[in-house]
Amino acid sequence: MLFSNISILDENFDYQEGKWLGVLDGKIAYIGDEDPRVAADSPDFGEVIDGKDRLAMPALYNAHAHAPMTLLRGYAENVPLQQWLNDLVWPFEAKMTAEDNYWATLLSCAEMARYGVVSFSDMYYHTRDRARATVECGLKANLCEGLLAFEPKPYSEYPIAQLNLDLIDELHGTDEGRILIDYCIHAEYTSNPITCAGVAEAAKAAGLPIHVHVSETKSEHEECKERHDGMTPIQYFESLGVLDVPVIAAHCVWVEDDDIRIMREHNVSVAHNPASNMKLGSGFAPISKMLREGVNVCLGTDGMASNNNHDMFQDMYLMALLGKGFRLDPTAVSPKQALYAATRAGALAQGREDCGLLKEGFKADIAILDISSASWCPRTDMIGNIVYAGHGSDVVMTLCDGRVVYRDGVCPGVDIEAAKAELASRVKRIVASL
């Protein structure tokens, strides 16, 4: 595939017009000012697409999701957090079957592809079913099987220990590396030190990351300190060796200065979920501080019961906007920092080193935007336009490893009408059974 005369965000996120962009064998093969086909030894790029009024930018990486929760979109609105969890979300989830998980993941994938998202770090259950849906849609995912470990016993005594080994055997690195398996600890308040230490050892032995919720709410953060001699969740996890492997720490709303230092030292990636944190009234993470300290801040959509969409443009927008609004500082959190968080930072957090930038040799993960509408004019500051005025729905084509996963309303790998019908009837069945 070859785009002519297209606008791009280059590897430094500088906006450039009138470029040629060539995709070959799943990678970005050419970015330049000339038609690469004039070279005598030019490969055959296949389809040539007119890039007029089109912007190519790195596709987006969703660093924290619960894809099957799309079944719960709109299910638990305007209720306090504990009621949300105890009375609504958990009883609903208890009724969800493997097939429910498959269909909801499929629809989530279609939604992400539609908004230019190519990869997601997903914490939930029924990992095989989630992997199947992801592969069908053509996306990448770092999947982890959720671990609730209330009982203080060795990790190896939890059945999930063997399940994770099986999943690694069966799935890790499959679909040309698009499917990866992570380890999981749900959170400090749903675990215990013995089991956590065991997960850390297992992840270290397997050379895999751990995905964990950290300091999402104030009460979670404060109660951890009460339980563990003043240790915050980050300090608790550090003391158990959890931070000795690559970690994606979701939320981090209430982390303290010392936590930020620890996260930086251990190269923890923070998955910032501004939409979810606002909607559930959890608070706003100190991301400007984290960015200043050099922490790898990524972006996540979280589950659809608390977002309620997979449009990461909205999360970029919130990161840049609220970074300013919450601190009453219009210079905090630049649009470029938000764009980096949604792209390169997420790819790095997922261990996908050759992803997240438009750069020759990198994987061809590209979102093509229609920039012809009034909102994109004038083009004084295109990063500002993307982050403040852009929409996920401006995406007209999404490439994942060079393959089209969304184009002009169609996800080639997903029968959207079938998936929508399945979701509607499955929600009906679950709600009727509650």
Restricting to residues 273-332, name those near a second copy by CB under 8 A. 275, 277-284, 307-311, 314, 317-318, 321-322, 324-332
| Amino acid (1-letter code) at residue 325 | G
d(CA 194, CA 197): 5
CB of 42 to a second copy, least distance (A): 34
Structure tokens belonging to residue 204: 């270290």
CB of 303 to a second copy, least distance (A): 13
Report 115-144 residues binding a second copy (CB under 8 A): none
Nearer to a second copy, 124 or 406 (CB): 406
Report 203-242 residues binding a second copy (CB under 8 A): 218
Tokens 């009234």 belong to 281
Report 93-112 residues binding a second copy (CB under 8 A): 107-108, 110-111
Structure tokens belonging to residue 202: 């297992």
Report 45-74 residues binding a second copy (CB under 8 A): 70-74
- Of 153-161, 235-243, 272-280, 344-352, which segment contacts a second copy by CB under 8 A? 272-280
DSSP string spanning 217-229?
SHHHHHHHHHHTT
> Exposed (0-12), middle (13-18) or buried (19+): which is 94, by Cβ within 10 Å?
exposed
- Of 147-155, 175-183, 185-193, 367-375, which segment contacts a second copy by CB under 8 A? 367-375
- Of 93-101, 169-177, 178-186, 379-387, which segment contacts a second copy by CB under 8 A? 379-387
d(CA 96, CA 69): 10
Do residues 108 and 301 make contact, with C-beta atoms less than 8 angstroms apart?
no
Report 414-433 residues binding a second copy (CB under 8 A): 416, 419-420, 423-424, 427
User: In the 8-state DSSP scheme, what is residue 86?
Assistant: I
Nearer to a second copy, 1 or 382 (CB): 382
Among 389, 402, 407, 410, binds a second copy (CB under 8 A): 389
Do residues 246 and 269 make contact, with C-beta atoms less than 8 angstroms apart?
yes
CB of 220 to a second copy, least distance (A): 13
CB of 227 to a second copy, least distance (A): 22
x/- contact string, 180-209, with a second copy (CB under 8 A)? ------------------------------
Asked whether position 251 contacts a second copy by CB under 8 A, the answer is no
Please tell me the count of residues contacting a second copy according to CB under 8 A: 72
CB of 149 to a second copy, least distance (A): 27
Nearer to a second copy, 225 or 279 (CB): 279
Q: CA–CA distance from 426 to each of 41, 96, 100 (Å)? A: 54, 9, 7
CB of 171 to a second copy, least distance (A): 24
DSSP string spanning 308-349?
----HHHHHHHHHHHHHHTTT-TTSS-HHHHHHHHTHHHHHH
Assign 78 to helix, strand or coil. coil
Q: CA–CA distance from 140 to each of 109, 133, 242, 390, 425 (Å)? A: 10, 11, 25, 24, 27
d(CA 426, CA 175): 28
CB of 86 to a second copy, least distance (A): 14
Nearer to a second copy, 178 or 310 (CB): 310
Beta strand 2-9 with 54-58 is parallel
User: In the 8-state DSSP scheme, what is residue 301?
Assistant: -
Structure tokens belonging to residue 308: 């309620």
Nearer to a second copy, 191 or 276 (CB): 276
